[in-house]
A and B are shown apart, each in its own frame.
Chain A
Amino acid sequence: MLEIKDIKWSAPGGVNVLKGLSLEVPENKLVVITGPNGGGKTTLAKVIAGLETPDSGSIFLGGEDITKLDVTERAKRGISFAFQQPVRFKGITVRQLIELASGGTLKEDGLCAILSRVGLCAREYIDREVDSTLSGGEIKRIEIASVLARHTKLTIFDEPEAGIDLWSFTSLIDVFESMRSSLKGTLVIISHQERILKIADEIVVIADGKLKDKGSADEILPKLLGSSADCTTCAKKEVYLK
């Protein structure tokens, strides 16, 4: 359903971040992207959602070339993206944000249904502003809720577990599992969490701007846990700097 062909992207300063990345995400599957910090996962997600424009390469959604479409057009084609670092707004309430996401006004039970999936009580939150008074975990949940409210065919979550407490983490995994089983749609989750990696239909490892590995959870997970990829990368960098 989503096809990424030879994507290259360099940062404004000229550093090559994505170095020719190709990837196919099958329909109605849960794909988890993982890999070392700074490997290019968020950048790839931004390129898919249209927030960054690739230097070269192309992106197809359901067979349509969407490389030239802007953020709004891609959102309308059915791409949702939950930010790793949610954006805060002075003056926009949780209710308004969720309603903008769902595309119309919602009754309180509708808002309740969405917010309870991320463990928030609608009554306490709908009139709060999505500003700096929300805690890190709260804003992250609202970010996820804003994406759940859209029910699109492709949803990308960028480290949804970050800042979410352990207790809610279990219910968050339930949300992803139920999205996979009950709803039609493809889920791409960027994550470092073993428990999220475990529920993946497919794991994709991205490191140094390239696709490093790809396969079923059974296949990839043991390699990741065994090799401790992050550390070797770190060590290498240090040696290199010396």
Chain B
Amino acid sequence: MNSITEKLLGMISNWNGKYEGAYNIRENGGCAGRQSTEHIKIENKEGAPGLEIRILPGTRGESVSIPACITHGDVDDLVYNDFYIGEDADVLIMAGCGVHTETGEAARHSGIHRFYLGKNSHVIYVEKHVGTGKGSGLRTIDPVTEVYLDEGAVLEMDTAQIGGVDKSTRNTRAELSSNAKLLIRERILTEYDQWARTDFEVTMNGEGAGTDLISRAVARGNSHQEYTSKMIGNGPCSGHSECDAIIADHGTVTAAPALTANHGDAALIHEAAIGKIAGEQILKLRTLGLTEKEAEAKIVEGFLG
């Protein structure tokens, strides 16, 4: 494993020289380390690059890390990782991605992650994306996340991309059976000429399914972000989505939420707001002795925190 990978691992995951629990480190399309455990099996996928990760029913309190790093330009890495989570399991999954290039050549990673959650299982899924290095080579991360939640399953997804990535198309789709819950927290910061697009599509099929989707975005410099969310309620379910964006400098944001209720007891709510940092927020922090710049930085930091 090279030193850039080590540095990226520190930024995108809980790497402290090693991982606790099961892991697979992907480096420039190859494998730089893997470990399965008694309850979590990681194997190569057949017929396509990527992994099959099986978490046995009833596994509790364990974690899997499957970071992917690109450490130089002229790499276009595509990977399919499938997670099968057994009934009643309760685990933490970390799948960060770091892309580094400084030669002026482009570096890209596309991770297609599929999650099949068994009945009453609970997964916390943490995903951090970073881009590093100098030079004009485009750093691109295009994640696709597909989620299938069986009865009573709960997925809490926490995904963040705080600068450094030049171009990103993020696609998240989920299908929920009865009493399944999906909680998504997304944080995106773009600056300079960066561009990010994020699409959510959540279909709630069963009775008692619930979704809470919270997306916060900051677009500054000349950057641009697009947000779309589709929430579809096919049964008695409840869905809430919220998209808040702060724009600064010449940053621009488009938000297009959509709700579809195909059942009389589907309750769907969307809230969206785009705007500059409220002037009174800056003023309040300035009355505490912060400069305007410091106040803005604190507000953004808290907002994306």
Contacts and interface: CB of A to CB of B under 8 A. Distances in A.
Interface of A: 49, 51, 70-72, 75-76, 79-81, 83, 86-87, 89-93, 96, 100-101, 103, 146, 150
Main secondary structure of the interface of B (DSSP, over half): helix
B280 interface: yes
Residue among A51, A71, A92, A93 with max Cβ neighbours from chain B (10 Å): A71
Contacts of B292: 72
B290 A89 contact: no
B298 interface: yes
Interface in B201-260: 216, 244
Given A71-B287, A150-B288, A87 B280 contact: yes
Contacts of A100: 285, 288, 290, 298
A93 B281 CA distance: 14
B73 to A, nearest CB: 35
15 contacts: A51-B283, A71-B287, A75-B286, A75-B287, A75-B288, A87-B283, A87-B284, A89-B302, A90-B302, A91-B299, A91-B302, A92-B299, A92-B302, A96-B298, A101-B288
- Rank and list the top 5 A-B pairs by shortest CB-CB distance, nearest first: A91-B302, A92-B302, A71-B286, A87-B284, A75-B289
Nearest to B300: A91
Please tell me the size bucket of the interface on B: 20 to 34
B264 interface: no
B61 interface: no
Given A90-B244, A92-B298, A80 B303 contact: no
A76 B281 contact: no
A83 B284 CA distance: 8
Contacts of B302: 89-93, 96
B160 to A, nearest CB: 13
B285 A80 contact: no
A51 B287 contact: yes
Contacts of A150: 288-289
Contact of B289 (A51, A72, A87, A92): A72
B164 to A, nearest CB: 21
B302 to A, nearest CB: 4
Nearest to A82: B287
A120 B132 CA distance: 44
Nearest to A90: B303
A49 B280 CA distance: 13
A72 B143 CA distance: 43
Contacts of A75: 286-289
Nearest to A77: B289
B274 interface: no
A57 B33 CA distance: 72
A89 B283 CA distance: 12
B305 interface: yes
Interface string B261-297: 0000000000000000010110111111111100000
Nearest to A87: B284
A72 B291 contact: yes
B79 interface: no
A167 B274 CA distance: 40
A76 B304 contact: no
A81 B284 CA distance: 9
A143 B210 CA distance: 35
Contacts of A76: 289
Residue among A86, A91, A93 with max Cβ neighbours from chain B (10 Å): A91
A143 B118 CA distance: 47
Residue among B285, B289, B292 with max Cβ neighbours from chain A (10 Å): B289
A232 B39 CA distance: 80
Given A76-B289, A100-B288, A150-B288, A71 B299 contact: no
A72 B284 CA distance: 10
Contacts of B286: 70-72, 75
A76 B287 CA distance: 9
